[in-house]
A and B are shown apart, each in its own frame.
Chain A
Amino acid sequence: MRLGLILSEVGQGIRRNLSMVIAVVLVTFISLSFVGAAILLQMQIGQMKGYWYDRAQVAVYLCTEYVDSANCGQTEATAEQKAFVEQQLKTAPLASLISKYAFEDHEQAYEKYLEQFGETGESSFVTADFLPETFWVNLNNPEQSDALVERLSGLPGVEEVLDQREYLQPIFDALNVASYTAIGVAVLMLIAAVLLIATTIRLSAFSRRRELGIMRLVGASNRFIQTPFVLEGVVASLIGSILAGAAIVSLVHFFVQGYLNAVPGTTPYVGLTDALIVVPILLVVGVGLAAMSAAIAIRRYLRV
């Protein structure tokens, strides 16, 4: 009985206020789409970090006779120097950080080079002794590369110690900026959505002020008076949230999976499972904000 009455009040309110309700739906739709996109971008960053950091190695390049730096002075790293570097990798304190390392000599480096770039015109100028011998080091925790760089950089016969993660950083920075931008836009839109919901509810309450007056007079409880208005805001923003969820899922399905994944490459992209995690977050945010702003907006009409 009461539930039916409340729901019919909600329906009446929405019908009476249709244009405002549509505005609320659209604004929550767009703002939550941005929220969802930002969350997906963060997920994407996390996933790429996990993927690439596992594969990222620290390269300890040894001197060749073509390198003119303080450590090398145009002489090939000697066998003792190599042995000393390897000694460092095998003993404390570095050994505990390293999961494995491998030595790559000139020939192996040249093969890898040919594999990557093929026998083009330029590659004929490159000979094996151009390419430095290298210790490829895998770390237990990729974050701890600093210790290795510090320890090995100055050693005689070492040209350079390079953490491959440095190549990835600009990509992550760009993705981070994109996701912060999306969050910024989303916050502005959400503020607009909250204000719009509050205004809609005030309008709705104003158009029903006779009923409200009588309800208060005959002793309808505050919750009873409040609920239809809160539900009105919640329904409108729930529709917007569902649309935003659908937008996010189809973005992942059609753009990420259908378009980006069609380009051959090893980069992993967010999938539908990630999108399905985002959808309930959007619903909760949308409904929660709407309920809150509607409840605050209607409070003025409940003062006794």
Chain B
Amino acid sequence: MIRFDQVTKLYPGNTRPALNSVSLEILPGEFVFLVGASGSGKSSFLRLVLREEHPTRGQIHVLGQHLGKLSSRKVPYFRRNLGVVFQDFRLLPQKTVFDNVAFSLQVIGKSKGFIQEAVPDVLKMVGLAGKASRLPHELSGGEQQRVAIARAIVNKPSILLADEPTGNLDPSTSAGIMTLLERISAGGTTVIMATHDAGIVDQMKRRVIELISGQVVRDERQGGYLTQAVPVQRESDLYDAGTDIEAEVKR
């Protein structure tokens, strides 16, 4: 489903790679947590999967496509197979809940009939059946994130990427979102979630990939947020991590 071969990502003006020779494979239907400090490379990983960035070295295969060989013209069609959710929801403030979800179908040329059917279905699935005509600012944070998730999955993508989807939410709301993501995963969608939320990771007992300074330091099934065996950290690593956070902040 997703395979990284020796992938290194260097951003211009930064000598330390955001991802350093990462090799891993994620299978269809897996639920994967991506954990690590800020600047450890989680977001770079997701951006590479989405092909918003090119790897400096190495190869990435997603859904059987070699991303390095995908022409720019085909990227939009590739992205229709991926759903993305962000910490800050990214809803259109002047559009209703229904229109926010419908928008993502309209712009890829779906018919009116399809939209009329698919949007209420997905809103029901995320638990917003009665709120289709609300505007985003009339909703709570958890509800807004549900709209964003509905938008991401309405086109039935094979992969759902979630970049700290619970980062802005309180624990009980987060739990609701996790239940929803679990349900989506149970439907066969591969879910990759970058997070800082130790409680969620520990509770879910799913595959955990931990990144430190762009390197995979841990990849375990049914893992927790913290590794049992403490990874060896040299002082230089810590120093580098510090500079990288600065770079991240600047960006």
Q: Is the CB of A5 within 8 A of B106?
A: yes
10 contacts between A and B (CB under 8 A): A1-B106, A1-B112, A5-B107, A210-B90, A214-B103, A217-B84, A221-B108, A224-B107, A224-B109, A303-B72
Interface size class of A (residues with CB under 8 A): 10 to 19
A221 adjacent to B77 (CB under 8 Å): yes
Minimum distance in angstroms from A205 CB to a CB of chain B: 15
Q: Does B104 interact with chain A (Cβ within 8 Å)?
A: yes
Contact with A along B121-157 (1 / 0, CB 8 A): 0000000000000000000000000000001000100
B79 at the interface (CB under 8 A from A): yes
Contact at B109–A219, with CB atoms within 8 Å?
Answer: no
Residue of B nearest to A224 (CB): B107
A221 and B76 within 8 A (CB): yes
- Taking a contact as CB atoms under 8 Å apart, the answer to whether A304 and B90 are in contact is no
| Residues of chain A from 154 to 205 with CB closer than 8 A to chain B in the complex | none
Tally of contact residues, B, Cβ under 8 A: 27
CB B38 to nearest CB in A, in angstroms, measures 22
- Chain A contacts of B109 at CB under 8 A? 1-2, 221, 224
Instruction: Name B62-91 residues within 8 Å CB distance of A.
Output: 72-73, 75-82, 84, 90
Q: Roughly how many angstroms separate A220 CA and B77 CA in the complex, as a whole number?
A: 8
The chain B residue with its CB closest to the CB of A302 is: B72
Which chain A residues numbered 1 to 42 have a C-beta less than 8 Å away from chain B? 1-2, 5
Q: CB-CB < 8 A to A217: which residues of B?
A: 50, 79, 84, 90
Please determine whether A216 and B90 come into contact, CB atoms closer than 8 angstroms: no
- Chain B residue numbers with a CB within 8 Å of A211 are 92, 103
Asked whether, in the complex, the Cβ of B92 is within 8 Å of the Cβ of A219, the reply is no
Contact with B along A250-272 (1 / 0, CB 8 A): 00000000000000000000000
Q: A1-B106, A218-B108, A304-B75 provided; 8 other pairs, C-beta below 8 A?
A: A1-B109, A5-B107, A211-B92, A214-B107, A214-B151, A220-B108, A221-B77, A224-B109
Q: For the complex, what is the distance from the CA of A219 to the CA of B51, rounded to whole Å? A: 11
Pairwise interchain contact A218-B104, C-beta atoms closer than 8 A: yes
Which residues of B lie under 8 Å from residue A219 when comparing CB positions?
Answer: 75-82, 108
Whether A213 is near chain B, meaning CB under 8 Å from some CB there, is yes
State the main secondary structure of chain A at its contact with B.
Answer: helix
B73 and A218 within 8 A (CB): no
Of the candidates B76, B81, B92, B112, the one whose C-beta lies within 8 Å of that of A216 is B76
Query: Count the A-B residue pairs with Cβ separation under 8 angstroms: how many?
Result: 63
The residue of chain B having its C-beta at the shortest distance from the C-beta of A211 within the complex is: B92
- Please determine whether B90 and A213 come into contact, CB atoms closer than 8 angstroms: yes
Which B residues, 150 to 205, have Cβ-Cβ distances below 8 Å to chain A? 151, 155
When the two chains form their complex, are residues B90 and A222 in contact, meaning their CB atoms are under 8 A apart? Answer: no
> B111 an interface residue at 8 Å Cβ cutoff?
yes
B-side contacts of A221, CB under 8 Å: 76-77, 108-109
8 smallest beta-carbon distances between A and B, as pairs: A219-B79, A219-B80, A220-B107, A218-B104, A304-B75, A219-B76, A221-B76, A215-B107
Shortest distance between the CB of B245 and any CB in chain A (Å)? 25
- By beta carbon, the residue of chain A nearest B110 is A1
Chain A nearest Cβ from B109, distance in angstroms: 5
B52 contacts the other chain (Cβ, under 8 Å)? yes
Chain A residues with CB below 8 A from B73, complex form: 222
How far is A100 from B66 in the complex, measured between Cα atoms in Å?
81
Please, which residues of chain A bring their CB within 8 A of the CB of B106?
Answer: 1-2, 5
CB distance from A157 to the nearest CB of B (A): 81
Closest A residue to B104 by CB, please name it. A218
Picked from B50, B52, B80, B92, the residue with its CB within 8 Å of the CB of A214 is B92
Note all chain B residues with C-beta closer than 8 A to A303. Answer: 72
The distance from the CB of B101 to the nearest CB of chain A, in whole angstroms, is: 10
Whether A214 touches B90, Cβ cut-off 8 Å, given contacts A1-B112, A219-B108, A224-B107, is yes
Chain A residues within an 8 Å CB radius of B80: 218-219
Q: Which of A2, A5, A225, A304 has the most CB of B within 10 A?
A: A304
Contact indicator A1/B111 (Cβ below 8 Å): yes
Question: In the bound complex, what is the Cα–Cα distance between A225 and B79 (angstroms)?
Answer: 15
B79 touches A218 (CB 8 A): yes
Q: Which residues of A from 86 to 134 have beta carbons under 8 Å from B?
A: none
- Point out which of A5, A216, A219, A225 has the most chain B C-beta atoms below 10 A from its C-beta: A219
Chain B residues with CB under 8 Å of A5's CB are: 106-107
